[in-house]
Structure 1
């Protein structure tokens, strides 16, 4: 059924009507808005992915984003990836439609590409600017103004004030803000379709109305921050549509918008669970943490209001991360301006609702759109964010555009002056925007810009340290991570828990870096510290379990997991990990040699030496124990003892190649001058026909013997042969030794 035709109840404008513009003029101004917006924000396409959700969303998530990529790399539909899109609660949000837009980027670029994703962000923002321009034109038409040049100038300036503003940099230049752009795109389309439904006749009106609802659904599935849109439409019913002039119309509109809101809440809270059930996915688990900032959330919301309005008119000192102050109080001086602004603005909007309906509508629209991102519900440790002003700025820009239109309607001769003033404002906005875009060039630039304003913040240290390490700046990067991992002071409150999270994550990241460098013992120590600080750090727990289980030390991880379960008793992932660790617990060792093997795996060298000595005493005719004992003695730098053990073993088993080659290597490369013996090493080489070997590892050992004996040409010949046969992971070490032999220097193991 088509909605009732609107009744426009307003006085005719007393101003002299301006000449109607041709249709092409509307598109010309829209094109100017699009071109300027695109040109100004195009430099954002040069940015890299930053360590601010981008790595989790894109770099480490490519498999799930290949929705439209076939097995051959061309276009095709990937059912598993599509299933992930509609069931994933990734990094704490459910945004399937936004993921689909990223999947298109991945298909176009042939993979996750920073330029392509940033380019699409710029295109979405450009499209939103154009849609907002058309929305302003439509709204001002409803106030019975002709589509004149003054009106188009006002709408163009309003759209540019929104699109060129420095507050837009974060949402465009940050790849992970895609969902905000996509949600706004479909929300703007929904409002335009809603207005169109009251301009069209008959069935067309119904179709536009249904289309508006469907676009709202899509917008909600792109980003749920558009939830209050039905309330904004209710305000537009009041002005400029003026549909609800009597109680019956009010009730009808309230019921209609209430149904929209009910649909929105279902999409925000229930749709994902329904999709999981339909697609046979397990129930989603969400970590439920107590809201320790509940008592000060009104202060956070008040600051968000002040931030959104104040920064719109004075966009200075904008950064990506504004942390909640640790001394926050409900009525602190920092938050009083927000309370006063909210109270004063609301009183004015109510008192002047008849004289200034546009202000009333804009004010309450701004409050409604701010609601989901105001901090009244937990959003993280930030006090405010530029991206959250994206929708909130729209009513402000619309009100400014309406004011300019009214001014020009009454004073058409001022059009050139207003145009120049608008150009000056746009130039200032462009300057500010171009100053901020380089901050998003990479992770280091981003967190350096935040550090300048918030130099004593663990989140900043953590992310800046990671960024520096990615750039190869090891020393400075580790210094920042160590600051982030510093001991935690304070009680068991919100800030202590936040510090534990940051410290644990910093230790986890440090462990990964040391593991990449082959320093496994250091990495293991850092992992244990990370889990000890915050047992519910599931990633650290998993990595620790993966590191210790092969060493037979799964039982050491179990207490940490049990502590984590105490904090999160309903977490199924922790319970599965505990079950896996319980099953991975090894039975008691069968003999002393197996006991030594387990000690060696956990890098307990002294325990391994003692166990292997006991194994040899218990079974002196088992040759494997001798080689293992010599290996652990060498690790402990007890080379003379290692030589004695191997010499005894080779005498007992002269035809054992493993023992013989181990002794050759020790005699050839040991850093202890009293142990090396090139002559004896070559005698052993001849005994096992070492020069005839084809195995590259054995050729490497034989070449070391010749180098120790001073026969470098022979060593070069043999090692060259080894390099030709070596696997990729062996070749670098062989080539380093080859360079030594070519320069007439023997090889020494590290002391």
Structure 2
């Protein structure tokens, strides 16, 4: 399913080499995730505590194809988990390795898609130099897809494998469709059938691929103009893709718990807030957390986000003649975000990075098109290449840091609270993880705070009772130990300033804590405060020596 014309430099091996390079770089970026564990954010319910993925017997297969567990219909996704378990067992490394490899393949496939689509739109003209520019733009788009921090949640979360598998088959489906447009009968019909089959498989993994009919319709309008040249076949193909996507949506809509009582103006507010949130995170991927409440919690008024979204859409339409692909990419971005919004049940809407994994690709393709245009101009290519490389290196660095956030449940929810102190699930989930680690005194503080903010949180109340039970009744938490552990957790996430604050508070409560002095020495050294680091290191050695001497008597 590659292009039929020679490579952009006249060498047919160039696209294949570029595919391998993009795929390998994207996969290697997540090598550190192989040391991560499972987290109590879907991993437990979907993988660790799910007995049905531990077997490929008739009962398990029947469950996979009939269940709406976790409010989703994803039989191929469950099957994917089961195959990983059968191959390597219930080891976090197995799931993270599979996710990293599929993400690498997705990045490579997105490079191929970008190359094909940029050629269709003639983003940089014709000729050998223009073809080289197209390759540069497509590689840049593929690397943006592979290295951008918005992909971290989907790749570093073990249960995100089903989403990755969904996008893998979706990209294959679109490539097969593009091949069908260049083929002659009967190959065209076979490729179209293959594309529809791959879309169905994508939908059986997860529902994210339902955006494909929108892409097919937009391609038919521009640049192919198929509704003028081959109207009957274009409509028939669009109806076939829409039918498959409709069945996927229907199956997942039935799996969702719908209800009433959530007003239209709040839904519209959230729709606008979601678009702004995800667009902003593509352009400035800072403060990424698993769950961010939208709507009033996002700090906007009722209609401003929706008005701004409409304004951007109108501007894209106005500029459509000069930049015809701009409107198409914006519409694909909106269409990719519509399913998670439309399938959401009653209650507030939360932003999750996993929903941006596919949607953000519209921005990446736009970035590739801009680079291709600039490259074709032949001026300042060295500066352009250096700028693109620096941007990609920066994104990769942020992604590496974000991958550490997903190391375990404690690091995940500690980071979440540091970014958003009002996060509803963070305290309860952090407390549950702390209880499992035997750190009940810290868990109690978080749970009391959670119940003060949300008195109706029954899970927090249950976890609080569990913490008291484990400690044999009421107790006063050791605040010095709490601050020391929190400081150590923050330092492991690279948040040295916040770590120093909590470790200093721990030292004020327990001046003779050798462990706290040792932690502060490491933090201050990382901050370049060498003298303070040496002072705490000396104090740690003295306390450790005194403790060892005392233990011998």
Matched, 1:52 2:41: yes
Matched, 1:122 2:100: yes
Matched, 1:417 2:383: yes
TM-score, structure 1 as length reference: 0.58
The structure carrying a bigger helix percent of its residues is 2
Aligned to 2:369: 402
Aligned to 2:544: none
Instruction: Check conservation: 2:341, 2:349, Cα contact below 8 A.
Output: no
Aligned to 1:624: none
Judged with a 3 Å threshold, the aligned counterparts in structure 2 of structure 1 residues 370 and 99 are, in CA distance, closer, same or farther, namely same
> Structure 2 residue aligned with 1:505, among 459, 466, 479?
459
Aligned to 1:134: 112
Instruction: Check conservation: 1:67, 1:100, Cα contact below 8 A.
Output: no
Deviations 1:636-688 (A, max 9, x none): xxxxxxxxxxxxxxxxxxxxxxxxxxxxxxxxxxxxxxxxxxxxxxxxxxxxx
Aligned to 1:370: 337
TM-score, structure 2 as length reference: 0.78
Instruction: Check conservation: 2:269, 2:295, Cα contact below 8 A.
Output: no
What are structure 2's unaligned runs of at least 5 residues? 1-5, 475-553
Deviations 1:349-375 (A, max 9, x none): 322333321112111111111211346
Matched, 1:22 2:3: no
CA displacement at 1:119 relative to structure 2: 1.2
> Structure 2 residue aligned with 1:429, among 366, 385, 395?
395
Judged with a 3 Å threshold, the aligned counterparts in structure 2 of structure 1 residues 18 and 172 are, in CA distance, closer, same or farther, namely closer
Aligned to 2:63: 84
> Structure 2 residue aligned with 1:66, among 37, 54, 65?
54
Which protein, 1 or 2, shows the higher relative CO under an 8 Å CA cutoff with sep ≥ 6?
A: 2
For the residues of structure 2 that align with 1:19 and 1:323, how far apart are their CA atoms? 45
Instruction: Check conservation: 2:440, 2:467, Cα contact below 8 A.
Output: no
| CA RMSD after TM alignment | 2.8
CA displacement at 1:259 relative to structure 2: 3.7
Judged with a 3 Å threshold, the aligned counterparts in structure 2 of structure 1 residues 313 and 327 are, in CA distance, closer, same or farther, namely closer
CA displacement at 1:252 relative to structure 2: 4.9
Deviations 1:363-407 (A, max 9, x none): 111111121134684386553222111111112111221222122
Matched, 1:227 2:210: yes
For the residues of structure 1 that align with 2:290 and 2:69, how far apart are their CA atoms? 21
For the residues of structure 1 that align with 2:324 and 2:297, how far apart are their CA atoms? 40
CA displacement at 1:477 relative to structure 2: 1.0
CA displacement at 1:507 relative to structure 2: 2.3
For the residues of structure 1 that align with 2:235 and 2:185, how far apart are their CA atoms? 23
Aligned to 1:108: 87
Greater Cα radius of gyration, structure 1 or 2: 1
> Structure 2 residue aligned with 1:205, among 160, 165, 188?
188
CA displacement at 1:178 relative to structure 2: 2.1
Judged with a 3 Å threshold, the aligned counterparts in structure 2 of structure 1 residues 393 and 357 are, in CA distance, closer, same or farther, namely same
For the residues of structure 1 that align with 2:252 and 2:415, how far apart are their CA atoms? 39
Classify the secondary structure of the residue corresponding to 1:290. Answer: coil
Instruction: Check conservation: 1:298, 1:376, Cα contact below 8 A.
Output: no
For the residues of structure 2 that align with 1:506 and 1:81, how far apart are their CA atoms? 32
What are structure 1's unaligned runs of at least 5 residues? 1-16, 69-77, 274-283, 489-498, 523-751
Map of 1:295-306 to 2, 5 A cutoff?
A: 295-306=265-276
Aligned to 1:715: none
For the residues of structure 2 that align with 1:380 and 1:22, how far apart are their CA atoms? 55
Instruction: Check conservation: 1:297, 1:377, Cα contact below 8 A.
Output: no
Matched, 1:388 2:377: no
What is the count of residue pairs matched by the alignment?
Answer: 464
Deviations 1:188-227 (A, max 9, x none): 1111000000122222111111111111111111111221
